[in-house]
């Protein structure tokens, strides 16, 4: 197509170089203009048929159970449901990303303005004096004169090479990518809030565990002190019991400090100063929801970060067309009309002037500038393709990781609960034997330590399973919209 355009131009200019032939050239270029951007295709990558980890613990389901939009409601926690909407209204990071999206939309509108003719209204009023010795000055020219004018200029670029069209395509893709970035950040912030919330509730459960432990250890210390007073226990038993008690109290204090940090993190996420958000302690009975992962192919439509990466590829592809268009003539239609007078008689048609005609510019020599810009545009395109593929692979890994965590943590929790039951039984028996004088207090301390460790491990696994569930929902794209 490009060679045909050049031949048309050569034939027309070989004839009389008048305005009529130039007009015919413009028409020929309009009719043979083309899009210089490569034909766009979504990058192709390797997509697995199914998630390997999903088959180990999930039954096949026709649709996922995660609610659209407010996905956190699947946990049925009233406090979490009240906190999450505040992210959208008050989080400063989300507000900043919203401004970036607004900027992308404004840049798109700027690119779209090139589709329309550009119209300008101008004018000037000036008093002038020319030099007596100005070169080529006429004998009858006045020394001083007024120059007053009002004029209108209109310019319209003939988008022969789709430079403007590709700029609009790139702007639309960039705006869509920015919208996806906004959705991705919103999803991340909501997931971070849910993760911090379950951390806080896990610490509440640990605080309750240590409160019970401190009570039990206080009773054990009292028992050893009474036995020591009755000369049937050694002072070592008392010191061991006291050490157990004070250690548990120190751990309870540490949990209180960690809980304060978790509450501060939640406050920041909803735009509240740290310490200004009271969240009363609560032992929440939140269950891990059933979340069907679906098939990997649907992940390409759900994840906003994948959508952003794909739109970045589309924008880079369109920018190649914009850069390539700079190799060819830029042709525009120009119109100017105005009134000019040495006085203020600007309403007289006799003082009017006008100019109409096409204009063209063609780069001849720029030291390799356009070639360098084209190479840079292709390099940007290759980078965005690689980024897209990396994002897709990362998304598949995220889902597989969280499915694996939910699977193995579920097994681990079952095993740890058995360990807790056995440890509790050991503590009961060791205390009974100690009261009867059939065992020393070291056995009691060993049993109590094992019980506390097992219960803490079980609580930690429960918290991690809830957090893994949140991460799985985030990895699947969270509150995506069903376009089917």
Task: Please report where in the chains the tokens 């020319």 appear, as a residue.
Answer: 130
The whole-angstrom separation of Cα 438 and Cα 444 is 11
The residue among 205, 195, 200 whose CA lies nearest residue 459 is 205
Burial, 394: exposed, middle or buried (Cβ in 10 Å; 0-12, 13-18, 19+)? middle
Q: Residue 404 CA to chain centroid, in angstroms?
A: 25
- Structural domains in the chain? 1-33 (no CATH), 34-127+142-475 (1.20.1600.10)
The whole-angstrom separation of Cα 208 and Cα 281 is 9
437 conformational bin, left if phi > 0, alpha if psi -120 to 50, beta if neither:
left
User: What does the pLDDT read at residue 17?
Assistant: 45
User: What does the pLDDT read at residue 68?
Assistant: 53
pLDDT 10s digit of each residue in the chain, 484 long? 333 333 333 333 344 445 555 454 555 544 455 788 899 888 887 777 777 765 554 433 333 334 457 899 999 999 999 999 999 999 999 999 999 999 999 999 989 888 889 999 999 899 998 888 888 888 888 888 888 899 999 999 888 888 899 999 999 999 999 999 999 999 999 999 999 999 999 999 999 999 999 999 999 999 999 988 988 888 999 999 999 999 999 999 999 999 999 999 999 999 999 988 899 999 988 888 887 777 777 788 788 999 999 999 999 999 999 999 999 998 999 999 888 888 887 777 778 888 898 999 888 888 899 999 999 999 999 999 999 999 999 999 999 999 999 999 999 999 999 999 999 999 999 999 988 888 888 999 999 999 999 999 999 999 999 999 999 999 988 854 333 3
Tokens of 71: 């996905």
The whole-angstrom separation of Cα 154 and Cα 338 is 12
The residue among 76, 82, 72 whose CA lies nearest residue 280 is 82
Residue 231 backbone dihedrals phi, psi, to 5 degrees: 60, 30
Burial, 26: exposed, middle or buried (Cβ in 10 Å; 0-12, 13-18, 19+)? middle
User: What does the pLDDT read at residue 461?
Assistant: 96
Q: How many residues does the chain have?
A: 484
């Amino acid at each position: 197509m490009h060679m045909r355009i050049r031949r048309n131009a050569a034939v027309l200019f070989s004839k009389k170089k008048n305005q009529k032939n130039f007009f015919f050239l413009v028409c020929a270029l309009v009719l043979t203009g083309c899009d210089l951007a490569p034909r766009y295709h979504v990058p192709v990558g390797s997509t697995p048929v199914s998630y390997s980890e999903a088959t180990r613990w999930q039954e096949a389901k026709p649709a996922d159970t995660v609610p659209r939009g407010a996905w956190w409601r699947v946990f049925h926690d009233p406090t979490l449901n009240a906190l999450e909407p505040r992210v959208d209204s008050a989080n400063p990071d989300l507000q900043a990303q919203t401004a970036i999206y607004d900027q992308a939309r404004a840049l798109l509108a700027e690119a779209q303005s090139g589709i329309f003719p550009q119209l300008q209204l101008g004018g000037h009023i000036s008093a002038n004096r020319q030099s007596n010795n100005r070169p080529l000055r006429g004998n009858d020219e006045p020394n001083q004169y007024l120059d007053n004018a009002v004029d209108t200029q209109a310019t319209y670029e003939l988008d022969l090479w789709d430079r403007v069209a590709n700029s609009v395509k790139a702007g639309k893709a960039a705006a869509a990518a920015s919208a996806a970035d906004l959705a991705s950040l919103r999803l991340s912030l909501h997931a971070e809030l849910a993760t911090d919330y379950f951390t806080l509730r896990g610490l509440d459960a640990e605080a309750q565990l240590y409160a019970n432990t401190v009570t039990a250890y206080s009773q054990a210390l009292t028992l050893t002190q009474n036995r020591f007073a009755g000369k049937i226990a050694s002072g070592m038993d008392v010191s061991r019991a006291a050490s157990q008690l004070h250690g548990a109290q120190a751990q309870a204090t540490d949990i209180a400090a960690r809980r304060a940090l978790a509450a501060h993190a939640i406050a920041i996420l909803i735009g509240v100063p740290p310490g200004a958000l009271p969240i009363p302690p609560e032992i929440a009975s939140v269950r891990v929801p059933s979340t069907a992962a679906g098939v990997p192919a649907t992940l390409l439509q759900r994840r906003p970060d994948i959508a952003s990466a794909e739109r970045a590829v589309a924008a880079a592809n369109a920018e190649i067309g914009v850069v390539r268009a700079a190799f060819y003539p830029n042709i525009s239609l120009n119109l100017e009309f105005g009134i000019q007078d040495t006085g203020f008689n600007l309403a007289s048609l006799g003082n009017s002037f006008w100019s109409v005609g096409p204009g063209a510019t063609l780069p001849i020599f720029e030291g390799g500038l356009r070639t360098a810009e084209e190479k840079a545009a292709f390099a940007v395109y290759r980078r965005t393709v690689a980024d897209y593929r990396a994002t897709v692979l990362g998304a598949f890994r995220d889902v597989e990781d969280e499915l694996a965590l939910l699977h193995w943590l579920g097994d681990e929790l079952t095993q740890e609960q058995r360990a807790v039951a056995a440890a509790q039984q050991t503590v009961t028996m060791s205390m009974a034997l100690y009261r009867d004088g059939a065992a020393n207090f070291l056995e009691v301390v060993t049993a109590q330590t094992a019980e506390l460790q097992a219960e803490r491990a079980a609580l930690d696994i429960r918290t991690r399973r809830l957090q893994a569930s949140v991460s799985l929902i985030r990895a699947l794209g969270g509150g995506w919209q069903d376009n089917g």
